[in-house]
Amino acid sequence: MKFFVDTADVSDIRALAETGLLDGVTTNPSLIAKSGRRLADVIAEICAITPGPVSAEVTATDRETMLREGQYLRSIAPNVAVKVPLTEAGLAVCRALAAEGTKVNVTLCFSATQALLAAKAGAAFISPFVGRLDDISQDGMALIADTVQIYRNYGFPTEVLVASVRHPMHVLAAAKLGAHIATLPPATLRALFRHPLTDRGLEAFLADWAKTGQSIL
C-alpha cells in the first residue's frame, strides 16, 4: 500500500518525506486556505519535495472553467494530479484531462457506482471518503471492498485512494481489502509508527545498555 499525506503544511510534508515512506500528497481547497498562501506557490513547493503525485483541486463547478483550471494546475509541475469532484461535469473534465495525459484524482466518492463511472472516465485515482460515511452510520469500508472488487472484475487501472481516514484501523482494513493508497493527515500517519509495547521495550533496552557503561561509537 502507498501512503500519501493529506495536508498543505510544507514542514510536515518535508519531515515525512525524509522517512522515505511518503509516496505522494493530497490537498484540497480547505487545506490550501488553512495554509494562508497562494495555491500555485504551495503546490510548486510540495511538488519539489516529493516526486510522487501531488493532488491539486479545481474550485469551479462548471465544465469549461473546471477544465481551464485543471490545465493551469497541471502546468505548475509535472507531478501534479488534478483533483475534480465526482459530478457529471467533473467526470467530463476527467475524461478530457486524461485524454491529454493528465493524471486525475476524482474526489468526494461515496458509492461504488460513482467509483465505476470515475474509472470509465479515465481517472488515475478514485478517492472514496470512508470517514464521512462512518459519520452518518454507513460502512465506509464496504465502499472500499466493493470498489476494489469492481475494478478487479474489469481490469480498471484506476487506483483506489482511501480518503477521510480517521485512525490506523481504517488503514489496516483498507490494506486487507487491497486498496492501493491511503491518504492520511500527518497525525494519523505518524500514529502508524507508535505502539506502547515498542516504547516500553525500547525504554528497557536503553536502560539495560546504560548499565554497561559502553558506547557504540
Q: What is the DSSP string of 64-75?
A: HHHHHHHHHHHT
- The CATH code of domain 2-212 reads 3.20.20.70
Show the cell assigned to 132.
464521512
Tens of pLDDT along the chain (217 residues)?
999 999 999 999 999 999 999 999 999 999 999 999 999 999 999 999 999 999 999 999 999 999 999 999 999 999 999 999 999 999 999 999 999 999 999 999 999 999 999 999 999 999 999 999 999 999 999 999 999 999 999 999 999 999 999 999 999 999 999 999 999 999 999 999 999 999 999 999 999 999 999 999 9
> Rounded to two decimals, what is the model's pTM?
0.95
Distances (CA, A) of 97 to 26, 59, 67, 159, 186: 18, 16, 7, 17, 29
Cα 190–Cα 8–Cα 139 angle in degrees, nearest 5 = 60
Do 75 and 40 form a contact (C-beta atoms < 8 A)?
A: no
Active-site residue numbers?
Answer: 83
Task: Locate the DSSP E strands across the chain.
Answer: 2-6, 24-26, 54-57, 80-85, 104-109, 125-128, 159-162, 181-184
